[in-house]
């Protein structure tokens, strides 16, 4: 009974993080035209660093290049992933950008699979994205390339997070990565920002993006991963594009043709089906580590 309650609680918390992340992305869509993507991403990373650094600061005496390089690489990937995604949001809209970006972790999940059903699901997802990007008869190549870059960076983020999780205790690796990402982004933010556009309203918007997209989800993730399986976690995540499309419509006023709505649903259903039919595997080092993070 307790295990069932934990699964329900964990699933609910994971759904809350999906809502939080995509609501934050929709607010980022409001902020980008005002201050630019580099400023929005830098603000998000600043909030994340302020959230994790006070509690998870690695000891310098235990650091070596072998231990440190995955966290440094993760910081670079974080900067690329968030910057390219927000550029895609600015050019394509949140719903379309989030759907294309999801191809990254989806492709990673299927990379080693040889099952026919996974091939069918991958083909359906590819067809859905093709329909999504061509439905209007126009093709924003720059936006699609930014979204695909964000997808590739998300896949790299997953792989590096696994390495960082088994190398650093707690969230120490994430704290290093957040500082690296912030250091890379701040110069671009300072050069590109229009200082006349900064007021308390804009600063509050940037703070909300950081809290909703980084601080809140990262805080909940350790709670979630102790209560639900990675497969259930991935299935819930696969509905992220639908949630993103909803917030794109509600907050950013985006509209979707019937073909685009179908395309987004096809991608989500294909991903959910592929993940749901996977067999449970023995716990990896990442899952074991996640289970003991406090």
pLDDT digits (tens, 9 = 90+) for 87-129: 999 999 999 999 999 988 888 877 777 788 888 888 899 899 8
Measured CA to CA in angstroms, residue 170 lies from 121, 122, 152, 167, 222 at distances of: 35, 34, 26, 10, 9
Q: Give the model's pLDDT for residue 115.
A: 82
Q: Give the model's pLDDT for residue 188.
A: 87
Q: Which of 26, 289, 15, 14 is nearest to 162 (CA)?
A: 289
Rank 192-206, 219-233, 275-289 by mean pLDDT and report only the highest: 192-206
Q: Give the model's pLDDT for residue 294.
A: 32
Q: Which two tokens stand for residue 192?
A: 């590109």
Q: Give the model's pLDDT for residue 10.
A: 76
Average pLDDT score over the chain: 82
Sign of the CA dihedral running 270, 114, 278, 164:
negative
Burial of 279 (0-12, 13-18, 19+ CB in 10 A): exposed
* pLDDT above 90 for 254: yes
The 3 state secondary structure assigned to 138-160 is CCCHHHHHHHHHHHHHHHHHHHH
Q: Which of 210, 218, 211, 252 is nearest to 40 (CA)?
A: 210
Q: Give the model's pLDDT for residue 2.
A: 67
pLDDT tens, residue by residue, 67-87: 678 888 988 999 999 999 999
* pLDDT above 60 for 291: no
Residue partners of 5: CB distance under 8 A and separation at least 6:
none
pLDDT bin (cut points 50, 70, 90) of residue 204 is very high
What global pTM score does this model have? 0.84
pLDDT tens, residue by residue, 12-35: 888 889 999 999 999 999 999 999
* Helix/strand number for the chain, H first, E second: 14, 0
Q: Which two tokens stand for residue 65?
A: 């290049």
């Amino acid at each position: 009974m307790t295990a069932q309650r934990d699964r329900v609680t964990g699933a609910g918390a994971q759904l809350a993080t999906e809502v939080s992340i995509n609501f934050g992305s929709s607010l980022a869509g409001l902020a980008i035209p005002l201050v630019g993507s580099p400023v929005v991403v830098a603000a998000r990373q600043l909030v994340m660093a302020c959230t994790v650094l006070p509690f998870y600061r690695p000891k310098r005496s235990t650091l070596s290049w072998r231990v440190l390089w995955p966290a440094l690489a993760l910081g670079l990937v974080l900067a690329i992933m968030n910057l390219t995604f927000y550029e895609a949001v600015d050019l394509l809209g949140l719903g379309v950008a989030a759907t294309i970006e999801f191809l990254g972790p989806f492709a990673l999940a299927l990379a080693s699979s040889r099952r026919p059903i996974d091939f069918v699901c991958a083909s359906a997802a590819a067809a859905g994205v093709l329909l999504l990007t061509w439905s209007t008869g126009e093709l924003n190549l720059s936006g699609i390339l930014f979204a695909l870059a964000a997808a590739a960076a998300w896949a790299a983020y997953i792989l590096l997070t696994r390495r960082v999780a088994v190398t650093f205790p707690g969230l120490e690796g994430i704290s290093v990565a957040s500082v690296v990402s912030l250091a890379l982004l701040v110069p671009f933010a300072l050069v590109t920002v229009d200082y006349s556009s900064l007021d308390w309203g804009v600063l509050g918007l940037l703070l909300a993006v950081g809290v909703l997209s980084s601080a809140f989800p990262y805080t909940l993730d350790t709670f979630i991963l102790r209560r639900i399986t990675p497969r259930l976690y991935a299935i819930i995540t696969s509905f992220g594009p639908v949630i993103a499309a909803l917030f794109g419509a509600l907050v950013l006023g985006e509209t979707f043709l019937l073909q685009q709505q179908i395309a987004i649903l096809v991608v989500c259903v294909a991903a959910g089906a592929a993940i749901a039919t996977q067999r449970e595997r023995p716990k990896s080092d990442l899952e074991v580590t996640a289970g003991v993070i406090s």
